Structure 1
Amino acid sequence: MDTYKKDKYYPRVVRAIARILEKSDVVAPVDVLMGMGNLSKQNHDAWRRGQTPYLERVFEGSLSKANRILKIIGFHVHDLNMIPRETAYFKTGKGKKHPLRFSKSGNKKLEEAYSKHYYWNQSQEKKQDVIKRT
Protein backbone atom coordinates (compact mmCIF):
# COMPACT_ATOMS: atom_id res chain seq x y z
CA MET A 1 0.00 0.00 0.00
CA ASP A 2 2.80 2.43 0.86
CA THR A 3 4.58 1.84 -2.44
CA TYR A 4 1.67 1.95 -4.87
CA LYS A 5 2.96 5.21 -6.39
CA LYS A 6 6.10 3.33 -7.44
CA ASP A 7 4.12 0.67 -9.31
CA LYS A 8 4.76 0.68 -13.05
CA TYR A 9 1.02 1.06 -13.75
CA TYR A 10 0.58 4.09 -11.47
CA PRO A 11 1.43 6.80 -14.08
CA ARG A 12 -0.94 5.25 -16.62
CA VAL A 13 -3.76 5.04 -14.05
CA VAL A 14 -3.23 8.69 -13.04
CA ARG A 15 -3.27 9.86 -16.66
CA ALA A 16 -6.41 7.85 -17.44
CA ILE A 17 -8.21 9.26 -14.39
CA ALA A 18 -7.15 12.80 -15.31
CA ARG A 19 -8.54 12.36 -18.84
CA ILE A 20 -11.82 11.11 -17.40
CA LEU A 21 -11.98 14.06 -14.97
CA GLU A 22 -11.52 16.47 -17.88
CA LYS A 23 -14.94 15.37 -19.17
CA SER A 24 -16.78 14.12 -16.10
CA ASP A 25 -17.04 14.20 -12.32
CA VAL A 26 -17.41 10.41 -12.15
CA VAL A 27 -14.59 7.87 -12.47
CA ALA A 28 -15.50 4.23 -13.08
CA PRO A 29 -12.83 1.51 -13.10
CA VAL A 30 -14.07 0.18 -16.45
CA ASP A 31 -13.51 3.65 -17.94
CA VAL A 32 -9.98 3.70 -16.50
CA LEU A 33 -9.29 0.27 -18.02
CA MET A 34 -10.53 1.52 -21.39
CA GLY A 35 -8.46 4.70 -21.02
CA MET A 36 -5.37 2.62 -20.33
CA GLY A 37 -5.99 0.42 -23.38
CA ASN A 38 -6.65 -2.77 -21.40
CA LEU A 39 -10.29 -2.93 -22.42
CA SER A 40 -11.47 -2.07 -25.89
CA LYS A 41 -14.71 -0.21 -26.44
CA GLN A 42 -15.90 -3.09 -28.60
CA ASN A 43 -15.26 -5.68 -25.85
CA HIS A 44 -16.81 -3.41 -23.21
CA ASP A 45 -19.94 -2.99 -25.31
CA ALA A 46 -20.19 -6.75 -25.93
CA TRP A 47 -19.96 -7.35 -22.17
CA ARG A 48 -22.64 -4.70 -21.50
CA ARG A 49 -24.94 -6.40 -24.02
CA GLY A 50 -24.44 -9.70 -22.21
CA GLN A 51 -22.47 -11.30 -25.04
CA THR A 52 -19.52 -12.03 -22.72
CA PRO A 53 -20.13 -13.90 -19.44
CA TYR A 54 -17.80 -11.67 -17.40
CA LEU A 55 -15.61 -8.63 -18.03
CA GLU A 56 -12.30 -10.26 -17.11
CA ARG A 57 -12.68 -12.59 -20.09
CA VAL A 58 -12.12 -9.65 -22.47
CA PHE A 59 -9.55 -7.80 -20.32
CA GLU A 60 -6.33 -7.40 -22.31
CA GLY A 61 -3.67 -8.56 -19.88
CA SER A 62 -3.32 -10.88 -16.94
CA LEU A 63 -5.78 -10.99 -14.06
CA SER A 64 -2.99 -10.06 -11.62
CA LYS A 65 -2.45 -6.93 -13.72
CA ALA A 66 -6.16 -6.13 -13.52
CA ASN A 67 -6.11 -6.58 -9.74
CA ARG A 68 -3.07 -4.31 -9.39
CA ILE A 69 -4.74 -1.64 -11.51
CA LEU A 70 -7.95 -1.85 -9.46
CA LYS A 71 -5.97 -1.38 -6.24
CA ILE A 72 -4.06 1.59 -7.66
CA ILE A 73 -7.34 3.18 -8.80
CA GLY A 74 -8.72 2.78 -5.27
CA PHE A 75 -5.64 4.30 -3.64
CA HIS A 76 -5.43 7.18 -6.11
CA VAL A 77 -9.08 8.21 -5.88
CA HIS A 78 -8.77 7.99 -2.08
CA ASP A 79 -5.84 10.42 -2.28
CA LEU A 80 -8.03 12.71 -4.39
CA ASN A 81 -10.75 12.54 -1.71
CA MET A 82 -13.33 11.26 -4.17
CA ILE A 83 -16.51 9.68 -2.83
CA PRO A 84 -17.00 5.96 -3.58
CA ARG A 85 -20.48 4.66 -4.40
CA GLU A 86 -21.61 1.17 -5.21
CA THR A 87 -23.04 0.93 -8.69
CA ALA A 88 -25.02 -1.91 -10.21
CA TYR A 89 -24.34 -2.91 -13.80
CA PHE A 90 -27.12 -4.51 -15.81
CA LYS A 91 -27.28 -5.91 -19.30
CA THR A 92 -28.26 -3.32 -21.92
CA GLY A 93 -30.19 -3.83 -25.12
CA LYS A 94 -33.06 -6.19 -25.79
CA GLY A 95 -34.10 -8.91 -23.41
CA LYS A 96 -34.05 -9.38 -19.67
CA LYS A 97 -31.89 -6.87 -17.79
CA HIS A 98 -29.87 -9.27 -15.65
CA PRO A 99 -26.92 -8.12 -13.49
CA LEU A 100 -23.51 -8.27 -15.15
CA ARG A 101 -20.48 -10.02 -13.70
CA PHE A 102 -16.97 -8.66 -13.73
CA SER A 103 -15.03 -11.76 -12.67
CA LYS A 104 -15.28 -15.48 -13.31
CA SER A 105 -15.04 -16.21 -9.58
CA GLY A 106 -17.76 -13.74 -8.61
CA ASN A 107 -15.70 -12.81 -5.52
CA LYS A 108 -17.68 -10.12 -3.69
CA LYS A 109 -14.72 -7.81 -2.96
CA LEU A 110 -13.47 -8.05 -6.52
CA GLU A 111 -16.93 -7.40 -7.95
CA GLU A 112 -17.22 -4.34 -5.68
CA ALA A 113 -13.83 -3.04 -6.80
CA TYR A 114 -14.89 -3.17 -10.45
CA SER A 115 -18.38 -1.75 -9.90
CA LYS A 116 -17.62 1.10 -7.53
CA HIS A 117 -17.82 4.59 -9.05
CA TYR A 118 -15.92 7.53 -7.60
CA TYR A 119 -17.45 11.01 -7.51
CA TRP A 120 -15.60 14.32 -7.53
CA ASN A 121 -16.96 16.45 -4.67
CA GLN A 122 -14.57 19.38 -4.55
CA SER A 123 -14.18 22.68 -6.36
CA GLN A 124 -13.65 22.80 -10.11
CA GLU A 125 -10.44 24.78 -9.47
CA LYS A 126 -9.00 21.89 -7.46
CA LYS A 127 -10.11 19.49 -10.17
CA GLN A 128 -8.23 21.54 -12.78
CA ASP A 129 -5.12 21.44 -10.56
CA VAL A 130 -5.35 17.64 -10.41
CA ILE A 131 -5.69 17.45 -14.19
CA LYS A 132 -2.74 19.81 -14.79
CA ARG A 133 -0.44 17.80 -12.48
CA THR A 134 -0.51 14.80 -14.81
Structure 2
Amino acid sequence: MSSKELEKEVKRLVHSNRYLKGYVCAVDVLMQLNFLSESDYECWQLGKVDYLEGVCSVNLEKLTLVNKLIRRYAAELNLESSWTEYNQTGKRLSRRLRFSKSGNKAIEEQYATHYVDKKRMEELKENRSSI
Protein backbone atom coordinates (compact mmCIF):
# COMPACT_ATOMS: atom_id res chain seq x y z
CA MET A 1 0.00 0.00 0.00
CA SER A 2 1.47 3.35 -1.03
CA SER A 3 1.64 6.28 1.38
CA LYS A 4 -1.16 8.06 -0.52
CA GLU A 5 -3.40 5.00 -0.35
CA LEU A 6 -2.57 4.61 3.33
CA GLU A 7 -3.49 8.24 4.00
CA LYS A 8 -6.89 7.80 2.37
CA GLU A 9 -7.57 4.56 4.21
CA VAL A 10 -6.52 5.90 7.62
CA LYS A 11 -8.71 8.97 7.09
CA ARG A 12 -11.66 6.74 6.20
CA LEU A 13 -11.05 4.56 9.27
CA VAL A 14 -10.73 7.55 11.60
CA HIS A 15 -14.07 8.90 10.38
CA SER A 16 -15.70 5.46 10.52
CA ASN A 17 -14.48 4.66 14.05
CA ARG A 18 -15.49 8.09 15.30
CA TYR A 19 -18.99 7.55 13.98
CA LEU A 20 -19.43 3.89 14.97
CA LYS A 21 -17.67 3.92 18.35
CA GLY A 22 -17.35 7.58 19.31
CA TYR A 23 -13.58 7.28 19.52
CA VAL A 24 -10.50 6.35 17.52
CA CYS A 25 -7.50 4.36 18.72
CA ALA A 26 -4.35 3.14 17.01
CA VAL A 27 -4.86 -0.53 17.85
CA ASP A 28 -8.27 -0.61 16.15
CA VAL A 29 -6.92 1.15 13.06
CA LEU A 30 -3.93 -1.22 12.85
CA MET A 31 -6.25 -4.23 13.01
CA GLN A 32 -8.61 -2.74 10.43
CA LEU A 33 -5.65 -2.14 8.10
CA ASN A 34 -4.64 -5.80 8.62
CA PHE A 35 -1.28 -4.63 9.98
CA LEU A 36 -2.10 -6.40 13.26
CA SER A 37 -3.98 -9.69 13.49
CA GLU A 38 -6.59 -10.40 16.14
CA SER A 39 -4.57 -13.38 17.40
CA ASP A 40 -1.34 -11.35 17.70
CA TYR A 41 -3.26 -8.63 19.54
CA GLU A 42 -4.63 -11.21 21.97
CA CYS A 43 -1.15 -12.67 22.55
CA TRP A 44 0.13 -9.16 23.31
CA GLN A 45 -2.75 -8.57 25.75
CA LEU A 46 -1.89 -11.81 27.54
CA GLY A 47 1.76 -10.78 27.85
CA LYS A 48 3.02 -13.45 25.45
CA VAL A 49 4.53 -10.77 23.20
CA ASP A 50 7.06 -8.25 24.55
CA TYR A 51 5.83 -5.30 22.49
CA LEU A 52 3.05 -4.71 19.96
CA GLU A 53 5.21 -3.38 17.12
CA GLY A 54 7.03 -6.71 17.05
CA VAL A 55 3.94 -8.54 15.78
CA CYS A 56 2.76 -5.93 13.28
CA SER A 57 3.12 -6.96 9.64
CA VAL A 58 4.59 -3.64 8.46
CA ASN A 59 7.78 -1.74 9.18
CA LEU A 60 8.23 1.01 11.76
CA GLU A 61 8.07 3.69 9.07
CA LYS A 62 4.49 2.69 8.18
CA LEU A 63 3.51 2.35 11.85
CA THR A 64 4.86 5.83 12.53
CA LEU A 65 2.94 7.19 9.55
CA VAL A 66 -0.30 5.57 10.75
CA ASN A 67 0.06 7.17 14.20
CA LYS A 68 0.87 10.54 12.62
CA LEU A 69 -2.18 10.33 10.34
CA ILE A 70 -4.49 9.34 13.19
CA ARG A 71 -3.36 12.40 15.16
CA ARG A 72 -3.80 14.65 12.10
CA TYR A 73 -7.33 13.50 11.29
CA ALA A 74 -8.35 13.46 14.96
CA ALA A 75 -7.23 17.10 15.19
CA GLU A 76 -9.19 17.97 12.05
CA LEU A 77 -12.30 16.48 13.69
CA ASN A 78 -11.58 18.27 16.99
CA LEU A 79 -11.50 14.99 18.87
CA GLU A 80 -10.34 15.10 22.47
CA SER A 81 -7.21 13.12 23.27
CA SER A 82 -7.45 10.72 26.19
CA TRP A 83 -4.51 8.60 27.34
CA THR A 84 -5.63 5.03 27.97
CA GLU A 85 -3.75 2.53 30.10
CA TYR A 86 -3.22 -0.85 28.43
CA ASN A 87 -2.60 -3.59 30.98
CA GLN A 88 -1.92 -7.26 30.54
CA THR A 89 -4.98 -9.49 30.88
CA GLY A 90 -5.08 -13.04 32.15
CA LYS A 91 -4.15 -14.82 35.36
CA ARG A 92 -0.62 -13.51 35.80
CA LEU A 93 0.21 -10.32 37.64
CA SER A 94 -1.08 -7.33 35.75
CA ARG A 95 1.55 -5.13 34.15
CA ARG A 96 1.43 -2.26 31.71
CA LEU A 97 1.84 -3.42 28.14
CA ARG A 98 4.49 -2.00 25.82
CA PHE A 99 3.81 -0.89 22.29
CA SER A 100 7.39 -0.28 21.11
CA LYS A 101 10.70 -2.09 21.47
CA SER A 102 12.37 1.09 22.76
CA GLY A 103 9.65 1.87 25.31
CA ASN A 104 10.13 5.54 24.41
CA LYS A 105 7.57 7.55 26.39
CA ALA A 106 6.43 9.68 23.43
CA ILE A 107 5.90 6.62 21.22
CA GLU A 108 4.09 4.75 23.96
CA GLU A 109 1.78 7.73 24.51
CA GLN A 110 0.98 7.98 20.80
CA TYR A 111 -0.20 4.38 20.71
CA ALA A 112 -2.08 4.61 24.02
CA THR A 113 -3.96 7.81 23.20
CA HIS A 114 -7.59 7.46 22.22
CA TYR A 115 -9.32 10.32 20.41
CA VAL A 116 -12.84 10.86 21.68
CA ASP A 117 -15.87 12.60 20.20
CA LYS A 118 -17.85 13.28 23.38
CA LYS A 119 -20.94 14.42 21.51
CA ARG A 120 -21.00 11.24 19.44
CA MET A 121 -20.40 9.12 22.56
CA GLU A 122 -23.49 10.68 24.15
CA GLU A 123 -25.54 9.98 21.01
CA LEU A 124 -24.42 6.36 21.04
CA LYS A 125 -25.29 6.00 24.75
CA GLU A 126 -28.73 7.50 24.14
CA ASN A 127 -29.35 5.15 21.22
CA ARG A 128 -28.39 2.12 23.34
CA SER A 129 -30.61 3.15 26.23
CA SER A 130 -33.63 3.72 23.99
CA ILE A 131 -33.47 0.19 22.58
Shared fold (TM-score, shorter chain, > 0.5)? yes
Residue pair 2:19, 2:120 contacting (<8 A) in 1 also? no
Runs of 4+ in 1 over 3 A off after TM superposition: none
Measured against aligned partners, the alpha-carbon deviations of 1:3-62 in whole angstroms (never above 9, x if no partner) come to: xxx844111102222332343112111001111111111111110111100000001100
Tell me which amino acid in the other structure corresponds to 2:84: T
| SS of alignment partner, residue 74 of structure 1 | helix
Specify the alignment match of 1:66 in structure 2: 63
Q: Aligned-residue CA RMSD in angstroms?
A: 1.6
Q: TM-score, normalised by structure 2?
A: 0.84
| Long gaps (5+) in structure 2 | 122-131
Among 13, 28, 37, the residue aligned to 2:34: 37
Which residue of structure 1 aligns with residue 110 of structure 2? 113
- Deviation per residue, 1:90-132 (Å, 9 max, x gap): 00111101000000001111000000011013358xxxxxxxx
- Structure with more helix by fraction: 2
- Counterpart of 2:96 (choices 95, 99, 103) is 99
State which of 22, 27, 30 in structure 1 corresponds to 2:24.
Answer: 27
**Equivalent of residue 15 in structure 2, options 18, 30, 45:** 18
Aligned length: 119
Deviations 1:77-97 (A, max 9, x none): 000000001111100111101
Counterpart for residue 128 of structure 1: none
8 A contact 2:18–2:116 mirrored in 1: no
The yes-or-no answer on 1:82 pairing with 2:79 is: yes
- Structure 1 unaligned residues grouped into runs of 5+: 1-5, 125-134
What is the TM-score of this pair, normalised by structure 1?
Answer: 0.83
SS at match of 1:39: coil
CA contact (8 A) 2:86 2:97 kept: yes
